[in-house]
Amino acid sequence: MKEWLINIRPPKYLRYLFFIGYCWYRSFRSERDEAHNSAMILLGTFHGILLLSIVFMLIPEQIFTNNKYYTLIPVIILVFLLFYYLFSYQNKWQNFVAEFKHIKRKQQRIGLIYLVFLQFWCFLFG
């Protein structure tokens, strides 16, 4: 089981967006040591909002008898665990940074536009 968890890799677009977020956070002096965690939380937040909006659209209203916001806790835990195993488990994030380190600063700024577009799209859809 442990080998299987080590070999899990996120899709390439997610690794690229992680690298862009990592480089952006790394440019701040206060985030220098924890840039990988900040980028992971950023991407997890976007995808968590997207997942919650899909759950709220697909599950009928009758299932939420008391409060539909009780669904937030399991979804947040699920997204946190998923992104932990995709990026932080056994320091996988270092391999993803090394995979894209050849990208120049100008291309990273264009990637930052993609990251902002993803954020806008997730919030709009959510």
Confidence of residue 69 (pLDDT cuts 50, 70, 90): low
Distance separating alpha carbons of residues 57 and 122, to the nearest angstrom: 14
pLDDT at position 65:
58
3-state secondary structure of 93: helix
Distance separating alpha carbons of residues 58 and 61, to the nearest angstrom: 9
pLDDT at position 62:
59
pLDDT for 117 beyond 90: no
Read off the tokens for 19.
Answer: 């690298």
Cβ burial, residue 99 (10 Å; 0-12/13-18/19+):
middle
- pLDDT tens readout for residues 18-65: 999 999 888 888 778 889 999 999 889 888 888 888 877 777 665 655
Distance separating alpha carbons of residues 56 and 42, to the nearest angstrom: 21
- Opening angle at CA 93, ends 1 and 28, nearest 5: 150
pTM above 0.85, yes or no: no
Q: Are the beta carbons of 93 and 33 closer than 8 angstroms?
A: no
